[in-house]
Amino acid sequence: MSTKRGRRRKKPLPEEPIEVEITALSNEGRGIAHVDERTVFIDQALTGERVQFKYTRLKKDIAEGRTVEVLKASSLRIEPKCKAFGMCGGCSLQHMSSPAQIELKQAMLLDQLKHLDVMPDEVLEPLLGPEYGYRHKARLGVRYVHKKEKVLVGFRERNSSFITETDRCEVLHASVGEIINELAECINQLEEKRTIPQIEVAVGDDQTVLVFRHLEILSDTDRKILSDFCRLHSLVGYLQAGKPDALELLYPEKVEPLYYELPEQNVRIEFQPSDFTQVNPEINKRMVSNAIEYLALDENDIVLDLFSGLGNFSLAMARRCKQVTAVEGSLVMVKKARDNAELNNINNVEFFYADLYSDEVLSAPWIKQKFDKILLDPPRSGAAEILPTLKKMKVKKIVYVSCHPATLARDAAVLVKQLGYKLTKAGIMNMFPHTGHVESIAVFEL
Ligand SMILES: C[S@@+](CC[C@H](N)C(=O)[O-])C[C@H]1O[C@@H](n2cnc3c(N)ncnc32)[C@H](O)[C@@H]1O
């Protein structure tokens, strides 16, 4: 192969496309075929299709490939909206119709649960939201490509560190997604165009922020180019030379903090661009409301919110119950969550710092409190470490929000088989359309 990817390999991959029948779809949405007794996982191929593919990886028992031509298409195939689809690592399912994506994600969740023999009594209707322009958070890579004599801005290519060449991004909020080309041209005009590694995007309810990370001091001319760009596109611009939170406001001269609202609970959450916030605000609003409904909160409930971040669930739940204890592993987030409680005039929530993966929780001040209900929203690695501690609490209901079905299933098996809970409900939420990420929610009851 004469591409840069090919040159990196010791053994060149076969050049000739190979024709195969796709017999199944893998968990991440790749077509499965069998060639020479090897299983091949093929990007952009659907079950029942006949495709030509080229190898992108070839090992003894396993191989990966990418579709180069579809000879017989599935009825589930649609034309991807993005021209860079296939190359860009941002999306992997744009060739599948929306119902097929949802079905795939639901199967991914249910397969994991079934594998560990913990099926829910009720499979929830998938929570659906906008399919494009939904993404309010992103870290865009920036690179000056000498050969092309220009700057590229975007997500990384699939399985590579190169930046995808693209004019626009369909899943990113339109205020940035529609001007990727202009953004790249703007960076291209800078004297320091080679030393801007990334641009962080954060969209709040009333403003879009770009944080330009820079490795060298920027001249006045460069600063003016960036600030003119922000003015022209009604964006807020920050410079970031050091730590993620050490931001220098570039444009405009004064600005209000970023925020989003949860209207049903009358909560406003302020955040900084690098803080964790749920990427899809439409789904987030309904996810928070659904979690409150599944917990069946009332004014007597005392609730524990673990992995509480900026207070997304805690503050909303505090409006519907007696008291919330929220625990989070980042001190900075705990401080911001407390500020958010004050901002909302919410006095029945207490935020604590703790590493929920360590034994230090055993001596935490909140551990001996009595709780009625628990909300869990861990990172991808799940909540296994904290589950033995929950055993003694014997709460009536647990709502578990997960961004990784495998760890959810693993933890569900512990909750059901060791802690005696019933898995009463589980379902997916389409937080990340067109990507392989699966967000789900599960309800456990004693
Ligand atoms: C998926 S986010 C959820 C945040 C919040 N519930 C929300 O909806 O915005 C997971 C949170 O877990 C926190 N976290 C990660 N590792 C942790 C740990 N070991 N102990 C406690 N919190 C941790 C992260 O800082 C992050 O805020």
Residue 409 sits in the same domain as residue 294: yes
414 touches 384 (CB < 8 A): yes
Give the residue ranges of DSSP H helices in 58-198: 98-115, 174-177, 180-188
Residue 41 sits in the same domain as residue 177: no
Choose one of 328, 387, 437, 438 to mutate for the ligand 1 pocket test, by most ligand atoms within 8 angstroms of C-beta: 328
Residue 245 sits in the same domain as residue 363: no
Phi, psi of 36 (to 5 degrees): 50, 45
Per-residue pLDDT of the chain (446 residues; tens, 9 = 90+): 444 454 555 678 898 999 999 999 887 789 999 998 899 999 999 999 999 999 999 988 789 999 999 999 999 999 999 999 989 999 999 999 999 999 999 999 999 999 999 999 999 999 999 999 999 999 999 999 999 999 999 999 988 899 999 999 999 999 999 999 999 999 999 999 999 999 999 999 999 999 999 999 999 999 999 999 999 999 999 999 977 778 999 999 999 999 999 999 999 999 999 999 999 999 999 999 999 999 999 999 999 999 999 999 999 999 999 999 999 999 999 999 999 999 999 999 999 999 999 998 999 999 989 999 999 999 999 999 999 999 989 999 999 999 999 999 999 999 999 999 999 999 999 999 999 899 999 999 99
Model confidence pLDDT, tens digit, residues 48-76: 999 999 999 998 878 999 999 999 999 99
Tell how far the Cα of 62 is from the centroid of ligand 1, in angstroms.
Answer: 35
Tell how far the Cα of 2 is from the centroid of ligand 1, in angstroms.
Answer: 44
For ligand 1, atom 27, the nearest C-alpha belongs to 309
For ligand 1, atom 6, the nearest C-alpha belongs to 308
Tell how far the Cα of 328 is from the centroid of ligand 1, in angstroms.
Answer: 6
Q: Is 260 among the domain residues?
A: no
List pocket residues of ligand 1, CB cut-off 6 Å. Answer: 276-278, 307-310, 312-313, 328-330, 333, 355-357, 377-379
Single-letter amino acid, residue 105: K
Residue 227 sits in the same domain as residue 294: no
Strands 258-262 and 247-251: unpaired
Task: Give pTM, 2 decimals.
Answer: 0.93
Residue 294 sits in the same domain as residue 425: yes
Cα separation, 306 vs 288, whole angstroms: 14
Phi, psi of 60 (to 5 degrees): -60, -55
Q: 375: closest CA among 357, 392, 354, 399?
A: 399
Choose one of 283, 307, 400 to mutate for the ligand 1 pocket test, by most ligand atoms within 8 angstroms of C-beta: 307
Q: Is 100 among the domain residues?
A: no
Q: Is 118 among the domain residues?
A: yes
Q: Is 97 among the domain residues?
A: no
- The CATH number of the domain holding residue 327 is 3.40.50.150
Active-site annotation holder among 91, 186, 230, 403 = 403
Q: Which atom of ligand 1 is nearest to the CA of 385?
A: 19
Q: Is 416 among the domain residues?
A: yes
Residue 146 sits in the same domain as residue 176: yes
DSSP, collapsed to helix, strand or coil, labels residue 363 as helix
Residue 151 sits in the same domain as residue 126: no
Q: Which atom of ligand 1 is nearest to the CA of 330?
A: 25
Cα separation, 156 vs 150, whole angstroms: 16
Taking the mean position of all CA atoms in its chain, how far away is CA 109? Answer: 16
Tell how far the Cα of 386 is from the centroid of ligand 1, in angstroms.
Answer: 13
Residue 227 sits in the same domain as residue 303: no
13 touches 56 (CB < 8 A): yes
Residue 71 lies in domain = 4-77
How much is the pLDDT for 2?
43
Q: For residue 186, indicate whether it is catalytic.
A: no
- The CATH number of the domain holding residue 232 is 2.40.50.1070
Residue 110 sits in the same domain as residue 167: no
Residue 71 sits in the same domain as residue 212: no
Q: Is 151 among the domain residues?
A: yes
How much is the pLDDT for 1?
40
- The CATH number of the domain holding residue 23 is 2.40.50.140
Q: Which atom of ligand 1 is nearest to the CA of 314?
A: 6
Q: Is 87 among the domain residues?
A: no
Q: Is 99 among the domain residues?
A: no
Q: Domain count of the chain?
A: 3
| Cis omega (within 30 of 0) for bond into 99 | no
Residue 304 sits in the same domain as residue 417: yes
Residue 239 sits in the same domain as residue 380: no
